[in-house]
Amino acid sequence: MRVAFIHPDLGIGGAERWLVDSALALTSSDHDVVIYTSHYDRSHCFDETRQMKVICRGDSLPRSLMGRFFALFAYIRMVYLAFYIVMFSEFEHDVIICDQVSACIPVLKMSKLKILFYCHFPDMLLSKRDSLLKKIYRAPIDALEQYTTGLADRIIVNSRFTLQVFRETFTSLSKRDVDILYPSISISTFDSIKPDYSSFDFYDASKTYILSLNRFERKKNVSLAIETRAYLRDNYAECDWCKSSVLIVAGGYDHRVKENLENLAELKKRCEELRLTENEVIFLQSPSDVEKVTLLVMAQVLLYTPSGEHFGIVPVEAMLMQTPVVAVNSGGPLETVVDGVTGYLVEPAPDRFASAVSSILSSPDGNTMGENGRNRVINNFSFETFTAKLNHFVERN
């Protein structure tokens, strides 16, 4: 079958990782795949996209007006992209898979093609309404999101948690059949990447590395990882592993995104407030695939700090690389991390995170947890399982 993906910004993030894996899955099943996006930077993308058929249209359109109205302009850019697909694309399609922004679906329906919509999380819940004007601005956008999502021929979500939120949020769609498709990772791809410790001039085999891997966004609550490092210093100083521990804060960073710039600056300021030195906390922006695998292998533990995360692919990647995970006990990690088996699920507080880190690093359980984590990923989140289920949705549709 001929399958098209339409996505707002083909950068580096969880949604983009899902899209790339989905494209790889369908390609491996002999489907012809093309990706349409309104922004694509070959220097800021997942490596696999460079071998894919990617068409970028609408990047010249503004992303905001004086730093505001991002949602409105994201809708406009996606609608423009949808018109291009329907009216001007040189490729023919059987199925179109859309994610993140549903506003383009009415235009795509003009093509008479079947539309799948993959909901990572309701967009209306990702925006604050801290003023009357913001509430007025968001009201028609929220209504449009719910209406256009309902126009899709099939709706898929990424976890049981997101399904529950979906039904509570989109009340007019509460009786609609919705499928669950957990994101996946290509185990063979990860295993084929050889760690390259020379990528990091700070690497020291005698150090104990604690890793935080998230985009530089406030909702990721990376400050909790920094506060945990400070708590460890102040309360576990007698432990040998604590004396040598280094927190690495790495993640997707886009200089075009104001929040990325602001959040990184805020996190560095938080380190200064807690008197954490550059030897205790290291910041890395947009690590490559090789660098990410190297970081996961280097780390003795991963700190996953977002609360109410929709799914969260990073804990799955860490478990595959046999790195125990300490995550907040809410949202997607409840479906991926097994408490006390592949890591710990705790309250989002520095003392709770620090206690879990200590439990892992002070005993041999860390190795066992790592092995358990890899087995869990292989048995529940393999690329083969993901491919079979996605194929089912596409071909039945």
CA 222 to CA 46: how far, in whole Å?
22
pLDDT band at 26 (very low <50, low <70, confident <90, very high): very high
Token pair, residue 282, equals 């290291």
How far apart, in whole angstroms, are the C-alpha atoms of residue 276 and residue 278? 7
At residue 67, the pLDDT reads: 85
Predicted confidence at residue 324, as pLDDT, reads 97
Judging by DSSP bridges, how do beta strands 114-119 and 95-99 pair with one another?
parallel
Question: Token pair of 76, please?
Answer: 């406009």
Indicate the range of 182-191, 201-210, 269-278, 331-340 predicted with least confidence. 182-191
Asked if the model's pLDDT at residue 366 lies above 90, the reply is: no
Average pLDDT, the chain: 94
How distant, in Å, are the alpha carbons of 33, 156, 245, 266 from that of 360? 43, 36, 13, 29
Predicted pLDDT at 397: 59
pLDDT of residue 186: 84
Rounding to the nearest 10 degrees, give the CA dihedral for residues 20, 288, 45, 390.
10
Instruction: Return phi, psi of residue 141, to 5°.
Output: -65, -40
Three-state DSSP state, 221: coil
* Host H or E run for residue 250: strand 245-251
Query: 120 near 100, Cβ under 8 Å?
Result: yes
Give the DSSP H or E segment for 106: helix 105-108
Tell me: the pLDDT tens digits for 217-250?
A: 999 999 999 999 999 999 998 898 998 999 999 9
**Residue 100 near residue 15 (C-beta atoms within 8 A):** yes
Query: Which contiguous run of DSSP H or E holds residue 284?
Result: strand 281-285
The full DSSP string for 263-276 is: HHHHHHHHHHHTT-
What one-character-per-residue DSSP string does 107-139 give? HHGGGT-EEEEEESS-GGGGS---SHHHHHHHH
- Kindly tell me the burial class for residue 280, based on how many C-beta atoms sit within 10 Å of its own C-beta (0-12, 13-18, 19 or more): middle
- What pLDDT, on the 0 to 100 scale, is given for residue 365? 77
Cα 287–chain centre separation = 14
| pLDDT of 8 higher than 90 | yes
Backbone dihedral angles phi then psi of residue 27, each to the nearest 5 degrees: -65, -40
Taking only the tens place, the pLDDT of each residue in 243-271 is 899 999 999 998 888 899 999 999 999 99
- The pLDDT score that the predictor gives to residue 14 is 85
Give the tens place of pLDDT for each residue, 47-98. Answer: 899 999 999 999 999 999 988 899 999 999 999 999 999 999 989 999 999 9
Do 92 and 33 contact (CB within 8 A), yes or no?
A: no
Would you state the torsion angle of the CA atoms of residues 46, 39, 77, 63, taken in this order, to the nearest 10 degrees? Answer: 110
Contact 369, 338 (CB under 8 A): no
In angstroms, the first-to-last Cα distance of the chain is: 11
Mean pLDDT of 285-312: 95
pLDDT reading at 330 higher than 90? yes
pLDDT of residue 145: 96
Mean pLDDT of 352-365: 93
Altogether, the residues listed in the chain come to a count of 397
d(CA 227, CA 224): 5
What kind and span of H or E run contains 301? strand 299-304
- Please give the pLDDT value at position 126: 83
Q: How far is CA 255 from the centre of its chain?
A: 18
Residue 202 has pLDDT above 70, yes or no: yes
**What percentage of the chain exceeds 70 in pLDDT?**
100
Three-class SS string for 140-171? HHHHHHHHHHCCCCEEEECCHHHHHHHHHHCH
What confidence score (pLDDT) does residue 127 get? Answer: 84
Which pTM was predicted?
A: 0.81
Contact present, 309 and 294 (Cβ < 8 Å): no
Taking the C-alpha atoms of residue 64 and residue 56, their distance in angstroms, rounded to an integer, is: 18
Nearest to 360 by CA among 314, 318, 313, 311: 318
